Amino acid sequence: MKKYYMLICFIVTIQTYCYSQVFTEAPTGTTFAENNIYSNFQKKTPMMQELFQKVRNSSDEIKYDVGSTLGSPFENEEYEKGKVIYNNEILGDYYYRFNAYNQEVELKKTLLPEEKMEALIKDPLVSLETNGDYYVYTSMLSKNQKIEEGYVKLFYSGDKYKLYERYFVKFKEGKPAENSMVNPIPSKFTTYKEYFYKDKNEDIIKEIPFKKSKFLKIFSNDDLIEIKELLKSKDYNLNDKEDLTDLYKSLEKRTDF
């Protein structure tokens, strides 16, 4: 099968500012890449280095040879409108798309094809607002009790709880056909979603288990009666954004903090 190229432009610099973001706390040991909000000097894994090997064509366009590939590294292929925010101050309107595989928010000031793309710095002190949600870069505790870093999208902010959606992509390399009787296996991007919560009394966001028996264990004894009654009142899907929003809103209404 013929190889094709996927266009994913990256990184460099725009301008100044250094930042503060109120939706998540900064991970311990966070460092700043030069004092430049739009610079991104994050290290890439060996797989990413190999996958995103740069190739320049006659028009000086950066492309990445990933072979015959299914799926996409992007949450949405098309650029959408968003606002870059620092410490409740809007720094500007941009077009963005989220590269979920590489965990980068790609930015352009216009949609002109000649404008080079840039990447928002991976730092919890900077956020991007879109349609009422906020992309933030933060540390998170998985259900396997592992601390990871990446982008999450804040979609609910209550008096006690905040809820986040994590959208990420994994890449599996394909295999060539062993002989003319079988087809080659294409490379594939596979998308995943996870949901996290943050208690106002805690410093890190934590993954929400989608099994109700495990979900109950994340609450204190003071909240257990309320949350059990709510789970009985409606068949909540704990792996659904709208159901989680409704559940936590109802919990906050029925609980004194």
pLDDT tens for each residue of the chain, 257 residues long: 433 333 333 333 333 333 333 334 333 333 333 344 444 433 444 433 333 333 223 334 334 444 568 899 999 999 999 999 987 788 889 999 999 999 999 999 999 999 888 888 888 888 999 988 999 999 999 988 999 999 999 999 999 999 999 999 999 988 888 888 888 888 899 999 999 999 998 999 999 999 999 999 998 887 888 889 999 999 999 999 999 999 999 988 876 65
Determine the distance from the C-alpha atom of residue 175 to the mean position of all C-alpha atoms in its chain, rounded to a whole number: 29
Looking only at the bridges linking them, the beta strands covering 127-130 and 118-119 are unpaired
Strand runs labelled E in the chain: 5-6, 54-56, 62-65, 69-70, 80-86, 89-99, 104-108, 118-119, 127-130, 133-141, 147-157, 161-172, 187-199, 205-207
Whether this prediction's pTM lies above 0.85 is answered by no
> Which tokens hold the place of 89?
């101050």
**Residues 61 and 127 sit within 8 Å (Cβ to Cβ):** no
